[in-house]
Amino acid sequence: MSTYSRIAGTGGYLPELRLSNQDLVERLAKIGLETSDEWIVTRSGISARHFAADNQLTSDLAVKAAQSALEAAACTSEDLDLIILATSTPDHLGGFPSTACVVQDKLGAHTNCAAFDVQAVCAGFTYALAIADAFIRTGTYKKVLVLGAETFSRILDFQDRTTSVLFGDGAGAVVLEASTELGILATALHADGSQRDILCVPGHAKQGGVDGSAYLTMDGPAVFKLAVKVLEQVAHEALEKANLKPEQIDWLVPHQANIRIMESTARKMGMSMDKVIVTVHEHGNTSAASIPLALDVGVRSGQIQRGQHLLLEGVGGGFAWGAAVIKY
C-alpha cells in the first residue's frame, strides 16, 4: 500500500505590535521619509504589518504557530519525528545553529526528532513542504512539522521607502502526517541563481562584522516582472502533475507579497479573486511565513474545507519559486 502525506493541522502567529500604514507613515516622517497610506495600498494592497518585540526571536514566533498547528492536528511535540523550518531571518547569525533546532528545544520535542532549516526566501515554505512530502512518501518519517517564520523587520532599511513599507513579521505552520489517502498531490520547484541580485541581502560576514549592507535590497520592477511570469508557469506545471485543471482548484493560496501579483496570477489562471485567499492587507509580506499564514486563515475562517483542492505557490529571492497542489 502506498504512503502519502496529508495536512493534519494548521497554525499561525502574528506578533502583538501591529503598525497600520498611518502608524508607519508617522514613524518614517520622524526620520525625514515621506510616504502615505494611499501610496502603500495602491502599490501593494498592504494596510498593516506586525513587528516582533525586541525580545522576540524568529524561533519564538515559530513556536507559537507550531503549538497552534499541533493542537489542530490533535498531537503533541513528542509525536513529531522531523521539524523543517523555512526562514531568511534565523535566530543566529549565519543560521548556525539552525532555528529549527531551537524550535525543537522550545517545543520540548525529543531527540529522535530531526530538525533543520530551509532557505528559499519567500518560496521557502513550498520548498519545505515538498521536502517533507518526499520524506513521508519514502517512509522515512511519519509526522513532520513544517514551518515558515520570519522577523524581516530586523533587516529592513527604514531609509528605503520601496522596501520598508512592504514587509512584516510572522510565522505559519502545518503538521504533515503519513496517510493512505492522497493529500499533497504534486509539487514543483525551480530556481535561477543568475537573478540573485534583484532581491537579496548583499552583505557578507567578515572578521566578526559585515562587509557590505546587512539590509534587504530589491529591484521592485524586475522582481514583479519575473514573479508574474514564473508563478503562472509553476502553477500550470504542478496542476499538470496532479492531473487537474485550474477550474478544479477551489482555492488559490499564494505568497502574500503584493495584491497586484496575486491578481495577475489569478487572471492568468482564469480564476476569480473570490477563489483567492488574501491576507496581505493585514500583515504585508512575511516571506516564508506568508503561505502558511494565509492557509491557516483560510482554514480557521471556514473558507477552506476538507476535500477541497488547493494550489499553493510562492516566489522569492534566489531567485526561487515553487508550487504545491493539495487535497485538503
> 285 catalytic, yes or no?
yes
Task: Name, in order, each residue with C-beta under 8 angstroms of 287's C-beta and a sequence gap of 6 or more.
Answer: 87, 88, 89, 121, 122, 124, 148, 150, 152, 167, 316
C-alpha cell at 265: 496570477
Task: Name, in order, each residue with C-beta under 8 angstroms of 291's C-beta and a sequence gap of 6 or more.
Answer: 125, 126, 148, 172, 253, 254, 255, 256, 312, 313, 314
For cell 514566533, the residue is: 61
* Backbone angles phi and psi of 298, in degrees to 5: -60, -40
Instruction: Find the catalytic residue in 21, 122, 258, 283.
Output: 122
Instruction: Find the catalytic residue in 21, 113, 200, 255.
Output: 255
DSSP 100-128: HHHHHHHHT--TTSEEEEE--GGGHHHHH
What is the spatial distance between Cα 156 and Cα 174, in angstroms, rounded to a whole number? 27
Q: What CA–CA distances, in Å, run from 153 to 150, 216, 242?
A: 9, 10, 37
The 3-state DSSP class for residue 208 equals: coil
Q: What is the CA angle 217-15-309, rounded to 5?
A: 80
> 190 catalytic, yes or no?
no
Instruction: Find the catalytic residue in 21, 101, 200, 285.
Output: 285
> 283 catalytic, yes or no?
no
Which residues are catalytically annotated? Answer: 122, 255, 285
